Amino acid sequence: MELRFLYVGSDDTSADLAAWLRIPGATMRWRFHAFSADVAAVDLGSPPLVLIADHRPAGSVLPIYAVDDLAAATADLVGGGWTVELGPMGTPEGDATALVDPSGTAIAVLQVDRPGAMDAAFADEANTHAIR
């Protein structure tokens, strides 16, 4: 498993994005508004990317781990005491499942079938959901 994203909840994506971009070396990788959600990716120079999202509860942070086999990883986690909270569900990069441990701490696992899907979509000048 590799930590791929930190999914950070926001009340105001623009304000939070501006704050994150004040971190030395931080750059905006992409930003989209689609399906009533505003999501921006901040690259801090090394993984994980920070995803600032107004459809997540403000102040929450959901670590998202890349796995080779979503079904196997989910089964292993469930066998170790985790509970599936949501999923599997589709994402631009592949299917993901959100889980919670016995204390209620949440993580997600993601099978990356389409790496770079968001970067490619942002590079597409015809993409009307991209915010540049």
pLDDT of residue 33: 94
Summarised one tens digit per residue, pLDDT across range 39-74 is 999 999 999 999 999 999 999 999 999 999 999 999
- The pTM of this model reads 0.93
Answer whether residue 52 is part of any domain. yes
Domain CATH number, residue 28: 3.10.180.10
Task: Say how far apart CA 68 and CA 13 lie, in whole Å.
Answer: 31
Domain count, the chain: 1
Taking residues 33-42, what's their average pLDDT? 94
Answer whether residue 131 is part of any domain. no
Answer whether residue 116 is part of any domain. yes
Nearest to 40 by CA among 73, 18, 71: 18
Summarised one tens digit per residue, pLDDT across range 67-104 is 999 999 999 999 999 999 999 999 999 999 999 999 99
Answer whether residue 132 is part of any domain. no
Q: Binning pLDDT at 50, 70 and 90, where does residue 124 land?
A: very high
Answer whether residue 130 is part of any domain. no
Q: How many residues does the chain have?
A: 132
Domain region containing 38: 2-123
Taking residues 109-132, what's their average pLDDT? 95
Answer whether residue 128 is part of any domain. no
Find all residues with CB under 8 Å of 104, minimum gap 6, and list them: none
- 103 close to 109: Cβ distance less than 8 angstroms: no
